Structure 1
Amino acid sequence: MGLYQINITGTQSAAGQESFIIDISHGCHKVRLSRDCPAAKPNVEVTLESTDLLAVLQGSLSPLQAYLTGRISATGDVKKLMFFDKISSKGHKTGSMFNI
């Protein structure tokens, strides 16, 4: 459970970065662009390149390994970074779906 801010760098947006809020709480499972969100402070803020995010979601890069090698930076409750490992391990098969 928690409020996560994901900053993805190296995107094709005008700013070269997209930010998303993932809200996982009782009765609320939402992903929104951060500009569409209330000003609540996230429990953890994660920044990574778009190519690294793709590798994590495809299963070719462990979130923990990416963090330990500096490819993912996190501030706040770093233990919540393990959330990405749970998500990525559920979506490694082509066409697979998962629930949070």
Structure 2
Amino acid sequence: MKRMAFKMHLNEGQKEEYKRRHNEIWPALKTLLKEAGISEYSIFFDEATHTLFAFQKVSGEGSSQDLGQTEVVKKWWKFMADIMETNPDNSPVTIPLEEVFYME
């Protein structure tokens, strides 16, 4: 099992909407993530910078960021594009983070 982390940027004033949408995550998207080997997925928010910090445990080589070719993920990206920084294809701008410490 590997651990992956990345950050994204949420538009100002969108924290509650972001939380609401994720609290109502689509069952098909949740199933897809689990089938892709993602067993844990947490997203944290830094109020001062509007930075989202995502952490996930993944079995296999991919991550949630590798599912962009699926229709459900494309629809989710479009659904989320109005409240966060995105690329031209509506995917969130993500910056991978390097793990520099881990304690078991």
TM-based fold match above 0.5: no
* TM-score between the two structures when normalised by the length of structure 2: 0.31
The higher-RCO structure (CA 8 Å, 6+ apart) is: 2
Q: Which has the higher strand share?
A: 1
